[in-house]
A and B are shown apart, each in its own frame.
Chain A
Amino acid sequence: MSARRLWAELRRRPVIIAAILVAVALVVSSVLVPIISDLDASSPRLARRLQGPSWAGGEGGLLGTDSLGRDLFLRIMHGMRTSFAVGALAALLGAALGTLIGLVSGYFGGAVDAVLMRLTDIELAFPGILLVMVLVRVLERGIVGLVIVLGLISWMLYARVVRGAVLTLRTSELVTATTGLGASTPRILFVHVLPNVAAAAMSLMAVTFAALMLAEASLSFIGFGVQPPQISLGAILSSGREYLSTSWWISTFSGLFLLLGVLSTNLIGSWLHRVTDPLTVRTAS
C-alpha cells in the first residue's frame, strides 16, 4: 500500500490518529525526560518518601514519589522506555526467527517441514509462563535476556503465517520462472520469495508488539523481568501494591501509563495489520 493511500485511509479514523499522537508523545517523552531531567531515578531520597502529587495537595512533584522518595514521573518514563525497547526488539527477534523458519519449512517441505512444524506445534502447546521461567533461569537476567525470552515465545505465529504464504508462492509461476532463469535456491528464497511474504510478517509484528510490551511488564511484575537498577513499569506497579491504601498514586499512574502505551500501540498495530496485510487487503478491495 502506498504512503498516499495509507494517509487517505488514516484520515477517516480519528481514533487511530489519537492513538498515534499518544504513542508518539509517550515514545518522545520517555526518551527525552530521562535525558533532560537533573534528578536521578535510582538513588533513594528517604526524606521525600511517599509524597503525593503536587496538584493533589502533596509535595512529591508531578506524580508524587515512591517508597524510597524517588520521583515517580521520572521512573515511569524510564519504565516506558524499557517497555518500548523490549517490545520492539522482542517483536523483531520473534519475527526474524519465525519468518526464517516459515520460509525454510514452506519452501523445502517434506521432512524439514514436518520437523519444523511439529516443533512449532509443541511450542504453541507448551505453557508460555513455564517456558519463560525456565529460560529466565538459564539466560542472563536483564533487558537482553528478556528480549531473547520474549522472542523465543513469539515466533510460532510468524512461522505458520509465513509458511502458508510460501506454500502458495512455491508452486507459483513466479518461482518456476525464476528457477527457469537459473537462479540458485538461496537467491530464490531471499531475493524473490522473502520480499513477497515480508508484508504478512511485518503486519503481524505490528500486532505482537503491544502484546510483548505487556508481557515484559507482567514478567517484571512477578519479578522475572527487568532487574534493578533498571526500571520497568511492571516493577513499579508491583512495588506500589503495599502502599495502595495510603499512597495510591504509585500503582495507579504506572498502571495508567502502561495502559496508554499498550492500548495506543495495539490500536495502531491492528489498524496497520488490517490495511497492510496482503491477505485481508486483497479480499476487502
Chain B
Amino acid sequence: MSALLEVRDLQVAFQRRRDAEPVVPVADVSFDIRAGERVGLVGESGSGKSLTALAVMGLIPRIGGHLGPRTSISLGGENLLAKSEREMRWIRGGQIAMIFQDPLSSLNPVLKTGRQVIEALELHRPGLDNREMRAIAVDLLDQVHLPRPERLMDSYPHELSGGMRQRVMIAIALAGDPDLLIADEPTTALDVTIQAEVLDLLHELGEARDLAVLLITHDLSIIAGFTHRVLVMYGGRLVERAPTRDLYADPRHPYTGLLLRSIPPLDRTEERLVAIAGSPPEPAARPDGCGFNPRCPFSMDPACTTEHPPLIPLDGAAGASRATACARVDEITLGSLAPAPVSAAAAAGTAIDDGVLVNLERLSKTFKIKGEGLVGHELITAVDDVSLELRRGEVLGIVGESGSGKSTLARCMLHLIEPSRGTVRFDGRELGALGVRQLRRLRLRMQMIFQDPASSLDPRMRVGRILAEPLRIHGLWGTPGHNEAALQDLIELVQLPPDSLNRFPHEFSGGQRQRIAIARSLTARPSLLVCDEPVSALDVSVRSSILNLLADLRKEFGLTMVFIAHDLSLVRYLCDRIGVMHQGRLVELKSTEDLFADPVHDHTRELLAAQPVPDPATEQERRTHRRSLAGVSR
C-alpha cells in the first residue's frame, strides 16, 4: 500500500541574522504515514516535533523559517511544496487537519461553538445551505460524543470544560473530512481521566473513518495503546522508528531505552529509577555527532562524537519497518542499564519514627471570587474539611486532578495562605496562634519547592545570593556553618556544576533550576519539605534524576516530605502514604501498597484506570474495558 503522507529529508532552518549561521532545529527527517494509520511522534521540548508538524501543514515560512533544498513532502502522491498558498489553504483543514494543546486559545471566545464548526464547513464544503450545514455541525458534535449537541451549538467556549473544548476542536477538524489529523500534544493540558477519554475518541474516529492520525507528544505512556507505529525524535532528528509493540518490548536506541526505563512503573514499587544524565540540547547548541552522545552511557569516541548516525533499517524479525540511528546498535545491550546507585549518605539515613510532625485538623479554605453581575461574589471551597497527620521522616503523596485543592492544601499547611477554618500544628505548635515574627522564624524549618523553578527564583540574583537569601533573612549569614563554603557543599549535594554560585538562574536548564530551588530549600536544614508538582514542568528525560535526588535527600536529612502530583506513578515511587483529593476533600488516605492493591473510593479507581502506562498490551486491554463500560452507560 502506498503512503498517504511522505516526508523526505525534512530540514527546517531559521536565519535569525543575515551574517549568522542558520539554526537548524530539524534535520534529515523522513517518514511515511499510511492511510488510516496512527503514528506517534515522541520527543521532548526542543526536539523539533512540533516544527515537523508545522512543516507538513506548510506553515514554516509563516513563522520565519525555511525548508532545506532536498526536502520533499507529498500527500496522496501530490507534492505539497509545489502548491500555491491558495491551494494549501484548501488542503489545510480539508485533507490535513490539526488540533493543538490548548483548546481554549485555539477557539474564538466571542463566537458560539456551533458557528465555529459551521465556519469550517463553509470553508471546506461549499454549496451547502444553512440548514444543511447546521445539521452536519450537530452531527459532528454528536460524533465526538458531546452531550446534547443541539444545545451546545449555541454555547460559548468558556461555558465548556477543557475536555469538551478539545472535542469541539476535533469536531471542527473533522468538518473538512480530512485524511490526516495532526494532534499536537492534544491532551497535555487535560486531566488524566479526560485525557483517556479524548484519546479513546481519537482512536475510535481513526478506526471508523479510516483517518490517519499523527499524534505528537512528550509522553511515551499515552501512545502505547493508541498507535500502530512510533517515531522518536531527539535533537531535531529521528532516532528510532518501530511498530509500537516492538518499541516498548525492545527499544534499540539508547535514548528510547533509557526513557522507558526511567518512567516509574505503576504496578510495583521501584527501589530506584534509571536516570539520564544532563538535559536535552537547545536547538542552537547541539553537540557534534550523535545528538544524544553527551548523555549516553554507551557513547564512544569517535564513533558517536563525529558524525550523525543515519536512521538505518534493522534486520530481523521486525523487518524493515524498524530503524534506529545509533552507531553502536549492534554492540550494546540496553538490558544492562542499571539504576543510579543510592548515595552513601542516603543509605545510612534515618527511618520513620513515631512522632507526629504536622497535624491538620478540619482544615478548610474558601476563596471569594467575583460572581455574576456587578456586585456580589461567590464562595469557592478549595479545601474542604481535611484532617491528617504527618509522621516524622515519612513521605506523604497527595494526588488529584487540577482544581482538586491539592496545591491550596499545601500552601495552607505552611500558612503561606491563611486557612479559613481548622488548625495546623507543626511540631506541636499551632501556626495560626503564632505571631508574625514567630511564624517567620519557624519557616526555616518548613520549606516548599514549586512546579516552575523559573518563576520561583529571583531572575536578578546570582545563585549564590539566592541560596544565601534564607540565611540573610534570618540574620544567620556569616555565622559558623553558614558561609560560602557551606553553599558550595550544597551545590555539590544537589549535583550542580561547581561554578554555579556565580551564575544567574537563566543560565541553567529547567532541571538544573529545580536543583537550585531544592538547594535553597535545604540551606537552613528544614524538617519539612513540601514539593508541589516538582517535576511536572520538566522534560521527561530529566525527571527521574530529580526524583532520585529527592529520594536521597529525604533519607540523608531525615526529611519529612509532602509530595504533590497528578501522576500516580511518581507518588508510587517516592511516597510511604498517599492521599487522594477530589473536589477539595481528602477522599482516601492509606499506605502506598494498600492504595494500589485495594483502592476503595470511586475517584481513586478512576485515576488508577486512567493513568497511562508505557505498555501497549495493558493499554489496549484497558481501552476495551473502558469502552465496554461506556457502552453500558451510553
Contact = CB atoms under 8 A, between A and B. Distances in A.
Interface stretch (B36-44, B145-153, B436-444, B603-611): B436-444
A45 interface: no
Contacts of A174: 455-458
A173 B533 CA distance: 13
Interface string B422-457: 000000000000000000111110011011100111
A3 interface: no
A176 B416 contact: yes
Interface in B141-181: none
Interface residues of B, number: 25
Given A182-B443, A182-B444, A182-B474, A177 B450 contact: yes
A49 interface: no
Contact of B448 (A177, A183, A195, A196): A177
B458 A173 contact: no
B414 interface: yes
A184 interface: yes
Contacts of B416: 176, 179-180
Contacts of A183: 440, 469, 473
A187 interface: yes
B459 interface: yes
B443 A180 contact: yes
B411 interface: yes
A172 interface: yes
Interface in B463-480: 469-470, 473-474
Contacts of B473: 181-184, 187
Interface in A147-194: 172-174, 176-184, 187, 192
Contacts of B457: 174, 177
Nearest to A169: B455
B460 A180 contact: no
A20 B460 CA distance: 28
A56 to B, nearest CB: 48
Given A173-B452, A187-B473, A180 B458 contact: no
A124 B299 CA distance: 66
B469 A181 contact: yes
B448 A180 contact: yes
A165 B344 CA distance: 46
A182 B459 contact: no
A284 to B, nearest CB: 13
Given A180-B416, A182-B474, A173 B469 contact: no
A179 B450 CA distance: 13
A196 B460 CA distance: 7
Interface string A244-284: 00000000000000000000000000000000000000000
Given A176-B416, A195-B460, A196-B460, A181 B455 contact: no
B313 to A, nearest CB: 41
Given A173-B452, A176-B416, A181 B470 contact: yes
A179 B470 CA distance: 10
Which of the listed residues A172, A181, A187, A192 has the most CB atoms from chain B within 10 Å of its own CB?
A181
B455 A172 contact: yes
B459 A181 contact: no
A196 B458 contact: yes
A111 B447 CA distance: 31
A154 B473 CA distance: 35
A192 B472 CA distance: 13
A173 B455 contact: yes
B450 A176 contact: yes
Contact of A176 (B441, B456, B474, B517): B456
Given A174-B457, A192-B458, A181 B443 contact: yes
A272 B457 CA distance: 27
Contacts of A195: 458, 460
Nearest to A182: B443
Contacts of B441: 182
Contacts of A196: 458-460
Contacts of B456: 172-174, 176-177
Contact of B411 (A172, A176, A192): A176
Interface in B168-211: none
Contacts of A177: 448, 450, 456-457, 517
Contacts of B443: 179-182
A182 B448 contact: no
Nearest to B454: A173
Nearest to B523: A181
Contacts of B414: 180
A247 to B, nearest CB: 53
B450 A182 contact: no
Contacts of A178: 458, 469
Nearest to A179: B416
Contacts of A180: 414, 416, 443, 447-448
B607 to A, nearest CB: 26
Interface in B334-392: none
B140 to A, nearest CB: 36
Interface string A192-213: 1001100000000000000000
B431 to A, nearest CB: 13
Of B456, B457, B459, B474, most buried by chain A (CB within 10 Å of CB) is B456
Contacts of B440: 182-184
A113 to B, nearest CB: 16
A285 B457 CA distance: 22
Contact of A182 (B451, B470, B517): B470
Contacts of A181: 443-444, 447, 469-470, 473, 520
Nearest to B532: A173
A180 B444 CA distance: 8
Nearest to A184: B440
Nearest to B411: A176
A176 to B, nearest CB: 6
A182 B474 CA distance: 8
The 9 closest A-B pairs by CB, nearest first: A182-B443, A173-B456, A177-B456, A182-B440, A181-B470, A173-B450, A173-B455, A183-B473, A180-B448
Interface of B: 411, 414, 416, 440-444, 447-448, 450-452, 455-460, 469-470, 473-474, 517, 520
29 contacts: A172-B455, A173-B450, A173-B451, A173-B455, A174-B457, A174-B458, A176-B411, A176-B448, A176-B450, A176-B456, A177-B448, A177-B456, A177-B457, A178-B469, A180-B414, A180-B416, A180-B447, A180-B448, A181-B443, A181-B444, A181-B447, A182-B440, A182-B443, A182-B444, A182-B473, A183-B440, A183-B473, A195-B458, A195-B460
Given A174-B455, A174-B456, A177-B457, 19 more contacts: A172-B455, A173-B456, A174-B457, A176-B411, A176-B416, A177-B448, A177-B450, A178-B458, A179-B416, A180-B443, A181-B469, A181-B470, A182-B441, A182-B443, A182-B444, A182-B473, A182-B474, A195-B458, A196-B458
